């Protein structure tokens, strides 16, 4: 059996939770985000206090770079999309890279996205830029083989193909919206469905993983070219993940007697 082929007893996502454990950090952030979002929907003045406000941002209140991550200013559709994507992608980053790296990627990409949002889209807010950072991180793990190595160790290679398709689909949806609004999103969903079908039927897991990573990062680059802060967050998440992986895989220092 080649390294690209899935083992006969690949596990499901439900099995992964039993093996890898509950992704507590993802769960806590998701519950907190949902709770604050519901609060802002019920009390509009809370949304006003948390959203991006260029007139209210200054050295004395830099916390306003972070608070837009806690409110979804475009309503229920934006909120539902951000909740769902965090619930889908967050656990995989936490399982592969650990909680501290998850937090660094989520917050780092989120803050970069909100900072650029003040310039490119001054009014608004949302957690999508932080989730985009996690997706950018997953794209790197798929591209360089970290995800495949993790999946093989967890006997979960069958999960890699839909994960790669999901990462690519996320990038396509954001790029489609940036290029052509909701019609662009519809086209992206169609392309995602076709790609998932082809990947499932014709591509080996490692090949699908690399392709998914490439598509997602290419979508991030397109978004940056369109001055969309989600693209900057995706690429920031990718860069932070490269740093994390390099640090994680760095060989230990030899003992004094072995030098």
Average confidence score pLDDT of the chain:
83
219 with 172: CB under 8 angstroms? Answer: yes
Please name each of the domains of the chain with its CATH number. Answer: 22-249 (1.20.1540.10)
Task: Quickly list H helices, 44-75.
Answer: 44-50
What pTM did the predictor assign?
Answer: 0.86
CA atoms within 13 A on the CB side of 134: 31
The 10s digit of each residue's pLDDT in 229-259 is 999 999 999 999 998 877 554 444 444 454 4
22 with 99: CB under 8 angstroms? Answer: no
Confidence of residue 180 (pLDDT cuts 50, 70, 90): confident
- Both tokens assigned to 78: 């934006």
The distance in angstroms from the start CA to the end CA of the chain is 39
Residue-level pLDDT at 5: 45
């Amino acid at each position: 059996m080649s390294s690209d082929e899935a083992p006969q007893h690949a596990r499901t996502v439900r099995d992964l939770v039993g093996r890898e454990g509950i992704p507590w950090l993802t769960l806590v952030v998701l519950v907190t985000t949902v709770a604050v979002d519901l609060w802002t929907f019920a009390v509009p003045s809370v949304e006003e206090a948390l959203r991006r406000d260029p007139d209210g941002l200054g050295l004395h209140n830099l916390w306003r770079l972070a608070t837009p991550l806690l409110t979804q200013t475009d309503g229920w559709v934006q909120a539902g999309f951000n909740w769902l994507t965090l619930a889908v992608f967050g656990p995989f980053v936490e399982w592969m890279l650990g909680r501290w790296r998850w937090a660094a990627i989520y917050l780092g990409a989120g803050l970069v996205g909100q900072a650029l949002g003040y310039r490119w889209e001054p009014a608004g807010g949302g957690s999508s830029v932080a989730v985009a950072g996690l997706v950018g991180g997953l794209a790197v793990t798929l591209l360089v083989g970290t995800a495949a190595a993790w999946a093989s160790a967890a006997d979960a290679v069958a999960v890699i193909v839909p994960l790669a398709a999901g990462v690519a689909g996320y990038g396509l949806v954001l790029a489609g919206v940036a290029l052509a609004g909701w019609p662009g999103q519809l086209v992206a969903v169609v392309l995602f469905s076709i790609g998932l079908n082809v990947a499932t039927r014709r591509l080996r897991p490692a090949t699908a993983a690399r392709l998914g990573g490439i598509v997602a990062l290419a979508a991030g680059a397109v978004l940056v070219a369109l001055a969309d802060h989600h693209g900057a967050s995706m690429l920031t998440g990718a860069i932070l993940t490269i740093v994390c992986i390099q640090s994680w895989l760095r060989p230990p220092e030899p003992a004094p007697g072995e030098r």
